[in-house]
Amino acid sequence: MKKSLSIISPEIKEILRLPNKKEKLNEIFAEIHPYDIFILVKDLMPAEVAEIITALGILKGIEVFEKFKIKKQRRIFRHFSQEWMADVLEEMPPDERVDFIKALPEDRAEEILPLVAQAERNDIKKLMQFKEGTAGSILTTEYASLERGITAKEALEKLKLQAPNRETIYYIYITDEGKKLIGFISLKKLIVSRSDALINDIMNEKVISVSVNEDKEIVAKKLSDYDFLAIPVVDDNSRLIGIVTVDDVVDVVIEEDTEDILRYGAAGEYIDYMGSGPFQIARQRILWLLVLVIMGFVSGWVIQKYAFQLQAIIALAFFIPVLTASGGNAGTQSSTVVIRGLATGEVKMKDVIKVLKKEMLTGVLVGAVMGILGVVRALIANKSPLLGVTVGLAMVATVIIGTTLGAMLPLLFKKLRLDPALMSGPFISSSIDVISLFVYFQISFLIIK
Amino acid sequence: MKKSLSIISPEIKEILRLPNKKEKLNEIFAEIHPYDIFILVKDLMPAEVAEIITALGILKGIEVFEKFKIKKQRRIFRHFSQEWMADVLEEMPPDERVDFIKALPEDRAEEILPLVAQAERNDIKKLMQFKEGTAGSILTTEYASLERGITAKEALEKLKLQAPNRETIYYIYITDEGKKLIGFISLKKLIVSRSDALINDIMNEKVISVSVNEDKEIVAKKLSDYDFLAIPVVDDNSRLIGIVTVDDVVDVVIEEDTEDILRYGAAGEYIDYMGSGPFQIARQRILWLLVLVIMGFVSGWVIQKYAFQLQAIIALAFFIPVLTASGGNAGTQSSTVVIRGLATGEVKMKDVIKVLKKEMLTGVLVGAVMGILGVVRALIANKSPLLGVTVGLAMVATVIIGTTLGAMLPLLFKKLRLDPALMSGPFISSSIDVISLFVYFQISFLIIK
């Protein structure tokens, strides 16, 4: 398969020059999956992609179009005919359509929307109300549904008719006259049931659903916990609004993890990295860097306070980097574990005391080993046992502070419902820096004077 | 729903004391989803859980049992009767069964395996061969399959019979006499087809499959790229071995992201954090910490080399923390973005030059702003313009080194196929520390003498 794809790739541009390109393209792409077509054409010019998508016909074309990022979608869209623009908007899955329209400049949207059929326009209007990040923002209205009172056989007949424009028919939702969700049945169950069985009798009445305002991460977690292929989304009156399908869950999880990782790396919100210039990237990062510079000045100020001590024993300076780094590293380890544990649900808020104990003891153990290394190095560097003791003790203290603070700060911030974006790794490290420098110089002051 | 669950919870322990507990439990749990039962019983003692699972009957019981982590599964398993142990092993989905058996002590496994039916034993033997982390390790052999030459109607009849013990019947695979995979059809397509259509004519012959030795992350990515519900797994002779279903993909993605995050945080491989004691955790973290301590000594050694300079101008020490932190922070930002970009496929190896330019320019921009702050602070602290110039220049240089090295080190390590585990954030920061201290003191030496 891979082989045949790579043979096709260079041919495409040539085919676009032929008079019978439409037939040729259809011939080549006939049995190729839309995702593979996307891979083949994604680096072509937007006008060329638009031409290929048009040639494929709306059903297959739309599936290729969907694979592009919104930015590129907009560029391709411009090259469609008016008629095609309307077709594309009508055929896109409702959730992706809304995202796409939201990304259009307003005047452009106003120009195109009248071309779209009334039914879709209503749908768009409805979906546009839902807030970003909620179940409403990722649902699709193309679900399979049946009324009660029909038999399994009749249900299958009806499903046949619904199938072509439903995102999934493997889960079927049963609603009453007021669109209230009253049951659910899987196609598997429907197929193994006797053909004269009534839907009412074979459907599952305990339907697990989510509210339209539910956070989309919670929706993803629920869908995956229950191993569902889709989950119904209802409004405040238990009326069925749409479904979220499992393929969106993977995207939500990846997106969410990306957000968490960037946040922890103090790299700001997600932006299209490869598509952004240095100015955009710099703007994205500078705020955190400046905050951390200020914290670095505080660390410097601690040293300044003890300048007399440092002046007397210049060798104290040799251990500043290793002590601050060690506290930061121990803190990075424990905060990484705790923040990830909170995200996956392994660590819970009620575990605070357990975590605290665990990290303090871990700090004692690793700190002791690191402290010994510090003593040895200090004795080699300076042959002063007092400096050795100072460095050793400071190392143990710093590491314990590191593991403990690293684990507690994320829990504290979550508890206080403070913006978790404040809880980056560098911020944790910088906080530990200040404390460990103070501890270091204070110990040296007490021991060496 | 939530409400009724919380009412049940305290009742369970009481019910376990009743003589008719089996009926009672079945009554309460009749329409409750296995995941919700899991949530309700998960904090009970293993013996109690075993009792409840037994009461639920094998089909529903096994679904509850599956939700537990392997460690807890083993504890519950001990409390089953001999007969139940065999039943549980026979009914578990093949992929989970293998994981479970692998986790058993060897003598225990040898004791139980003879109780399992021959067919399952063969299956277990086959699946146990596959390497951890491959498609083979997460596949299930319970897929729906049909031979060619039958009609859609006959196919549906056959599916009805297969359905009860298949993980999914929504994708059906067609194999020839030698078990070679020759086609695939979705249940949706089958249902909308005319009942006398031949499978051969309506099946899709271009089946997208993965090799049994394929990395499981690649399998997950492929499944999600193509928006499949399952993907077939074949051996070197294109024979169908099993399928990987979409619900496993979410787990693979979460697991993989957890691994990446812990690795970046220098926190070692994933261990059961809440279930581990300080000794285990310390063992997990100490190696990295010691490596980083050594790197910290190298930083200290740089300072030692310039001790004469520092002795002359003690104020130089005040800026050691802010400079090392700033280089590390800039490096953390860029390495976070690049490592995540590599994981999601947004950044590719061929982008090296683009990324290098982007990060150098970003470094210049943010470094300049931070440098100005450094100059101001140096003038306030020391009123020496020369120190100001030194700190400012060192800051700019450090930050550029930070952004560049932070982005390049992950790319370099990937290019060299070195163990990516070496590429932790703290390691990147420590490398930058050494260079920036050297640059700082060298600049000060040249400017101030």
Query: Across the interface, do A247 and B224 touch by the CB < 8 Å criterion?
Result: yes
Q: What is the mean pLDDT of residues A202-207?
A: 90
Confidence of residue B1 (pLDDT cuts 50, 70, 90): very low
CB spacing of A336 vs B267 below 8 angstroms:
yes
Tens of pLDDT, residue by residue over B127-138, are 888 888 899 988
pLDDT tens digits along A329-338? 999 999 999 9
Quick check: B205 contacting A, CB < 8 Å? yes
pLDDT bucket at A115, cuts 50 / 70 / 90:
confident
How far apart (Å, rounded) are the C-alpha atoms in residues A24 and A51?
Answer: 13
Smallest CA–CA distance from B348 into chain A, residue: A274
> What is the Cβ-side half-sphere exposure of residue B35, based on CA atoms within 13 angstroms?
10
φ and ψ at residue A367, rounded to 5 degrees = -60, -40
Q: Exposure string (b/e) for B41-61, b if CB count within 10 Å is 16 or more? A: beebebebbbbbbbbbeeebb
Average pLDDT over residues A377-389: 88
A91-100, B317-326, B343-352: least confidently modelled range: A91-100
Kindly list the residues from chain A whose CB atom is less than 8 angstroms away from the CB atom of residue B229: 170, 229, 246
- ipTM higher than threshold 0.95: no
Give the pLDDT confidence of A309-326 residue by residue, as tens digits: 999 999 999 999 999 999
Which residues numbered 299-358 in A keep a CB inside 8 Å of some CB on B?
Answer: 299-301, 303-304, 307, 310-311, 314-315, 317-326, 328-330, 332-337, 340-341, 344, 346-347, 351, 354, 358
Say if residue B285's pLDDT is above 90: yes
Picking from B324, B232, B394, the residue whose alpha carbon sits closest to that of residue A296 is: B324
Report the sign of the C-alpha dihedral through residues B151, B157, B159, B162, in that order: negative
B368 and A300 in contact (C-beta within 8 Å)?
Answer: no
**Would the CB atoms of B246 and A247 count as touching at under 8 Å?**
yes
Residue pLDDT, tens place only, B350-365:
999 999 999 999 999 9
pLDDT of residue A351: 92
**What CATH number does the domain located at B2-132 have?**
1.25.60.10
Angstrom distance (rounded) from CA B240 to CA B139: 11
What is the mean predicted confidence (pLDDT) over B420-434? 86
pLDDT at B397: 97
B266 in A contact zone (CB under 8 Å) = yes
Q: Any residues with CB less than 8 A from the CB of B156 and at least 6 apart, and which?
A: A191, B190, B191, B195
| Shortest distance, CA A378 to any CA of chain B (angstroms) | 10
Query: Mutate which of B281, B308, B423, B434 to test chain A, going by most A C-beta atoms within 10 A?
Result: B281
CATH superfamily of the domain spanning A2-135: MgtE N-terminal domain-like (1.25.60.10)
Mean pLDDT across B205-214: 92
Instruction: Please state the domain extents for chain B.
Output: 2-132, 138-245, 278-448
Chain B environment of A182 (Cβ under 8 Å): none
Cβ–Cβ < 8 Å for A365, A358: no
Residue B95 has pLDDT above 90, yes or no: no
Residue B301 pLDDT class (50, 70, 90 cuts)? very high
Which structure tokens are listed for B261? 């995050």
Domain A278-448 = CATH 2.60.40.1220: no
To the nearest whole Å, the CA of B313 is away from the closest chain A CA by 9
pLDDT in tens, A164-177: 888 889 999 999 98
Residue A3, pLDDT score: 42
Q: What is the pLDDT of residues A141-163, one digit of tens each?
A: 889 999 888 999 999 999 989 88
- pLDDT, mean over chain B: 89
Residues of A in contact with B142 (CB under 8 A): none
- Average pLDDT (B185-204) is 91
Choose the CATH number for B138-245 among 3.40.718.10, 1.10.150.530, 3.10.580.10, 3.40.50.150. 3.10.580.10
The predicted structure's pLDDT at residue B443: 95
> Is B328 close to A295, i.e. CB distance below 8 A?
no
Question: Which residues of A are less than 8 Å from B260 in CB distance?
Answer: 261
For residue B434, give every residue at least 6 positions away whose Cβ sits within 8 Å of its Cβ, in sequence order, or none. Answer: B295, B298, B299, B302
Whole-model pTM over 0.80: yes
Point out the residue among B286, B300, B329 whose CB comes nearest to the CB of A292.
B329
Closest CA in chain B for residue A352: B274
At the topology level, CATH places domain A138-246 in CBS-domain (3.10.580)
